[in-house]
């Protein structure tokens, strides 16, 4: 074989390799917002110890696992905008920036690359659809709070399906419409508020949303099960059904479990463990699809950053933790705080015994969950200050919430007893896990940076 012949031969080999290499037709990208190793294990210990499930969480049954570092271009501790941009485009940027690099040059999301190549695209979140993580897959703005602009870019994206809670760009500060819903419709999108409407829609493009009762604009926590709100597993199922209808040959989906982050900011360990299981149920929807198309489907599960510096185990419980107390927690810290504020207004002469009864019913404390004398003494002091002396104790403020001081202490006690530890109400620079399944996904079985995922997925799909 002469030199030219050798080159031709090598070229033919390269072609046959690329034909043989697994090329997925369906890519699922799950992002547990704020789901570090501690959060994932909080979900898994709750699943195993409290619920008695011998099978690990779905994501932990996937054959490949690794971890990613999450720092941003401006900080050792990223926010969701910079982290979302890294996960969707493979480029680091500064905290607060979405779909632009640190020099405010627009960078391209892998969802857009796939869409341009003819793939259907669906984005699903428990948060506002114009929030940072979904926004990172279609928007280019220097500031993540430019909701109206982000919403317009969602309408212009051409993507087939976007689901979440309130479009925050719709109303201005005085509650007047800015016309975002109309703009979305003007781009050929069927904007609907129920799963049935998705199933009945004749449009290629459907955006599904649940108007949130909260200023944070999300669908509420699983532990509170707000009546009438969409859930992450249901939205995920609807997204798969819709994409199978309108883009049966190829589709990409990003699914964000955003409430994990908010519960982490609030240091609500029990609520968070329950939320991780809800996220896991959404992953199970994708896994069911994978079982029908195992050679053509890949699923990756990761997080944008860790929130709260959470641990399973804390200084009060030593070499154990007690997730078996979590099922008695029937309310989030956010909702409990709201209820205490209502009690202060509507039932100001409430007695300590009545408060104990109220708290026992919502959290299990004093009933199924044993409380120590030290913990009760401190709670009683704050109760006296709040209800008897009517002292206006300062709220405990976090990024998304303002917790009543008494409610805050109830949840400090709950965390102590359930065995969750926290170091902050912000994000941390801790690494986060990666779980993956599907042909070719062994490339995720190693430590990486958060910029490594999008290019690897695109390469696997033959697009980079």
CB nearer to Zn ion: give 150 or 382: 150
Number of shown-chain residues binding Zn ion (CB under 5 A): 1
The CB-of-305 to Zn ion minimum distance in angstroms stands at 7
Cα separation, 411 vs 264, in Å, equals 13
Whole-number Å distance between alpha carbons of 374 and 153: 54
Closest approach, Cβ 77 to Zn ion, in A, equals 10
CA distance 404 to 394: 8
CB of 420 to Zn ion, least distance (A): 17
Burial of 458 from C-beta contacts in 10 A (0-12 / 13-18 / 19+): middle
**Residue 89 main-chain phi, psi, to 5 deg:** -120, -20
Task: Give 131 or 416: the residue with its C-beta nearer to Zn ion.
Answer: 131
The least distance separating Zn ion from the CB of residue 321, rounded to whole angstroms, comes to: 24
Q: Which residue is nearest to Zn ion (CB)?
A: 261
In the complex with Zn ion, the residue whose CB is nearer, 269 or 364, is: 269
Of 34 and 323, which has the nearer Cβ to Zn ion? Answer: 34
- Residue closer to Zn ion (CB basis): 50 or 139: 139
306 forms part of the interface with Zn ion (CB under 5 A): no
The Cα–Cα gap between 115 and 461 comes to 12
189-192 vs 205-209, strand pairing mode: parallel
Q: Does 256 bind Zn ion (CB under 5 A)?
A: no
Residues whose CB falls within 8 Å of the CB of residue 274, separated by 6 or more in sequence, listed in order: 46, 221, 222, 223, 326, 329
Q: Which is nearer to Zn ion, 247 or 398 (CB)?
A: 398
Q: Considering the rule CB under 5 A, would residue 261 count as an interface residue with Zn ion?
A: yes
Identify any residues that bridge with 121 across adjacent strands, giving them in sequence order.
252
Q: Count CB atoms within 10 A of the CB of residue 49.
A: 14
Nearer to Zn ion, 222 or 321 (CB): 222
The residue range among 124-132, 260-268, 324-332, 344-352 that interacts with Zn ion, by the rule CB under 5 A, is 260-268
DSSP-derived letter for residue 47 is I
Name 61's Cβ contacts closer than 8 Å, sequence gap at least 6.
55
Nearest distance in Å: CB 114, Zn ion: 27
Q: Report which of 296, 200, 198 is spatially closest to residue 249, judged by C-alpha positions.
A: 296
Q: Which stretch binds Zn ion (CB under 5 A): 61-69, 158-166, 207-215, 254-262?
A: 254-262
Rounded to a whole number of angstroms, the minimum distance from the CB of residue 307 to Zn ion is 5
CB 87 within 8 A of CB 255: no
Q: In terms of CB distance, is 37 or 330 closer to Zn ion?
A: 37
| Cβ neighbour number for residue 316 with a 10 Å cutoff | 16
CB of 33 to Zn ion, least distance (A): 7
Select 261 or 409, whichever has its Cβ closest to Zn ion.
261
**Other CB atoms within 10 Å distance of the CB of residue 75:** 13
Closest CA to 256 of 139, 129, 90, 93: 129
Binding segment toward Zn ion, per CB under 5 A, in 57-65, 208-216, 256-264, 322-330: 256-264
Residue 300: in which H helix or E strand, if any? strand 297-302
**CB 256 → Zn ion: shortest distance, Å?**
12
Q: Which is nearer to Zn ion, 79 or 281 (CB)?
A: 79
For the CB of residue 129, give the shortest distance to Zn ion in the complex, in Å: 17
Least distance from Zn ion to the Cβ atom of residue 243, Å: 28
**Angle between helix 352-363 and 333-346 (nearest 10):** 150
421: which residues sit within 8 A by CB, 6+ positions away? 309, 310, 311, 312, 313, 314, 315, 415
Question: Which of residues 62 and 214 has its CB atom nearest to Zn ion in the complex?
Answer: 214
Q: How far is the CB of 187 from Zn ion (least distance, A)?
A: 30
Shortest distance, position 401 Cβ to Zn ion, whole Å: 12
Cβ(170)–Cβ(181) under 8 Å? yes
Closest CA to 332 of 277, 276, 270: 270
Q: Which is nearer to Zn ion, 131 or 224 (CB)?
A: 131
Interface residue list for Zn ion (CB under 5 A): 261
């Amino acid at each position: 074989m002469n030199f030219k012949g050798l080159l031709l031969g090598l070229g033919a080999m390269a072609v046959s390799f690329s034909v043989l290499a697994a090329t997925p037709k369906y890519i699922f990208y799950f992002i547990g917002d704020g789901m570090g190793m501690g959060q994932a294990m909080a979900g898994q210990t709750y699943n195993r110890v409290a619920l008695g499930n011998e099978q690990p969480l779905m994501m932990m049954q996937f054959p490949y696992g690794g971890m990613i570092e999450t720092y941003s271009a401006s900080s050792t501790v990223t926010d969701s905008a910079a982290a979302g941009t890294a996960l969707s485009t493979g480029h680091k940027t500064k905290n607060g920036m979405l779909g632009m690099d640190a020099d405010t040059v627009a960078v391209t999301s892998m969802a857009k690359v796939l869409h341009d190549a003819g793939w259907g695209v669906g984005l699903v979140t428990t948060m506002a659809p114009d929030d940072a993580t979904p926004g990172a897959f279609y928007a280019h703005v220097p500031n993540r709070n430019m909701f109206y602009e982000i919403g317009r870019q969602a309408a212009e994206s051409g993507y087939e399906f976007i689901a979440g809670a309130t479009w925050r760009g719709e109303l201005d500060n005085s509650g007047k419409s800015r016309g975002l819903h109309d703009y979305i419709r003007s781009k050929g999108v069927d904007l609907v508020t129920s799963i049935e409407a998705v199933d009945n829609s004749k449009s290629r493009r459907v955006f599904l949303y649940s108007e949130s009762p909260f200023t944070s604009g999300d669908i509420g926590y699983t532990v509170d099960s707000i009546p009438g709100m969409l859930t992450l597993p249901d939205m995920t199922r609807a997204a798969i059904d819709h994409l199978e209808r309108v883009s049966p040959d190829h589709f990409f989906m990003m699914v964000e479990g955003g409430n994990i982050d908010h519960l982490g900011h609030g240091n609500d360990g029990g609520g968070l463990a329950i939320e991780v299981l809800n996220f896991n149920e959404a992953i199970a929807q994708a896994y069911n699809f994978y079982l029908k198309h195992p050679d053509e489907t890949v699923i990756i599960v990761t997080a944008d950053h860790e929130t709260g510096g959470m641990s399973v185990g804390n200084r009060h419980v030593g070499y154990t933790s007690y997730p078996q107390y979590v099922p008695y927690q029937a309310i989030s810290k956010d909702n409990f705080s709201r209820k205490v504020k209502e009690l202060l207004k509507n039932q100001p002469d409430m007695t300590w015994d009545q408060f104990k009864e109220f708290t026992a019913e919502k959290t299990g404390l004093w009933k199924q969950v044993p409380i120590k004398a030290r913990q009760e003494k401190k709670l009683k002091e704050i109760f006296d200050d709040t209800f008897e002396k009517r002292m206006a104790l300062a709220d405990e403020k976090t990024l998304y919430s303002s917790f009543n001081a008494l409610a805050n202490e109830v949840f400090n006690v709950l965390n102590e007893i359930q065995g969750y530890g926290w170091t902050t109400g912000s994000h941390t620079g801790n690494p986060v896990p990666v779980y993956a399944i599907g042909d070719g996904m062994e490339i995720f079985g190693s430590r990486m940076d958060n910029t490594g995922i999008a290019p690897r997925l695109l390469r696997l799909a033959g697009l980079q």
